[in-house]
Amino acid sequence: MAESIHLDAELRQLVGKGNPALRRSGRVPAVVYGHRESPTHVSVDLKAATTALRRAGRNGLITLNIATQAEPRMALSREVQRDPIKRTIKHIDFYEVSMTEKLTADVTVVMFGESADIKSGQGVLLEGQHRLSIRCLPADLFDEIRVDVSKMKIGDIIRVKDLAVKQGVEVLADPDDEIARMVRYVEAKVEEAAGAATGDVEVIEKGKKDEEGTEAAAGKPAGKAAAPAAKAAAPAAKK
């Protein structure tokens, strides 16, 4: 069950000109839009809002308890404006959802695990899709799809249709789009060379050369190769 996150809010009468004074008092201006006829202007405590947003992430539901309103409102944080220097929150846009209506959201594709072919230096992992759009009810939302690549062998391909998502969640992508593909080291070098000519492909390798320092600087795990944002050309045969 998803974590329950609550945030108290107060109705806000002054809009725009009153925001600096509001912020000096330790509160943050916010707006709630979505299923209501018109946006609702509110304010929230800065510390409480910072904690709630950190816990919720991108797709976590927040229960807004607005003073003087009998019913709480379920919402997602959609735009958070921050001070460019201090990084403190200056304004929040909340999107109110209906718990019975499906919505669309973006999730991150996270690869984990290291296969034997990667460890031996014979294989290179090419990553395709890094973000995907999903459609589901608000209660079924999540932030990331985790993909175990530890058992992949050279020639294996993981496609969108192979992803394990719970019932009721629709991935809005071509089922045959590649998520990850394991190729031989020499094949990756050929693709890297071709990409270098067009500026399209970045390959991160392990085994033949020690790229640990480069990979650490790039913030990517060793033994993986990042493919271009565009889909990589699929091999002639599936795994």
Q: How far apart are the first and last CA of the chain?
A: 35
Q: Are 96 and 74 in contact (CB under 8 A)?
A: yes
Helical (H) or strand (E) element with 194: helix 185-198
Instruction: Report domain extents, the chain.
Output: 6-96, 103-226
Residue 4: predicted pLDDT = 86
Q: What is the mean pLDDT of the chain?
A: 82
| Phi-psi domain of 155 (left: phi exceeds 0; alpha: psi -120 through 50; beta: other) | left
| pLDDT tens per residue across span 162-199 | 999 989 999 999 999 999 999 988 766 666 666 665 55
Architecture of 6-96 per CATH? Beta Barrel (2.40)
| pLDDT tens per residue across span 33-44 | 997 778 999 999
Q: What is the mean pLDDT of residues 139-168?
A: 94
Architecture of 103-226 per CATH? Beta Complex (2.170)
Whether 237 has a pLDDT exceeding 90, the answer reads: no
**Residue at 113: amino acid letter:** G
pLDDT band at 62 (very low <50, low <70, confident <90, very high): very high
Integer CA distances (angstroms), 133 to 77, 100, 119, in order: 17, 19, 32
Lowest pLDDT segment from 1-5, 19-23, 187-191? 187-191
**Residue at 195: amino acid letter:** G
Strands (E), the chain: 6-11, 27-33, 40-45, 62-66, 73-82, 89-96, 103-112, 123-127, 131-136, 144-148, 157-159, 170-171, 178-184, 224-226
Q: Are 195 and 228 in contact (CB under 8 A)?
A: yes
Query: What pTM does this model have?
Result: 0.70
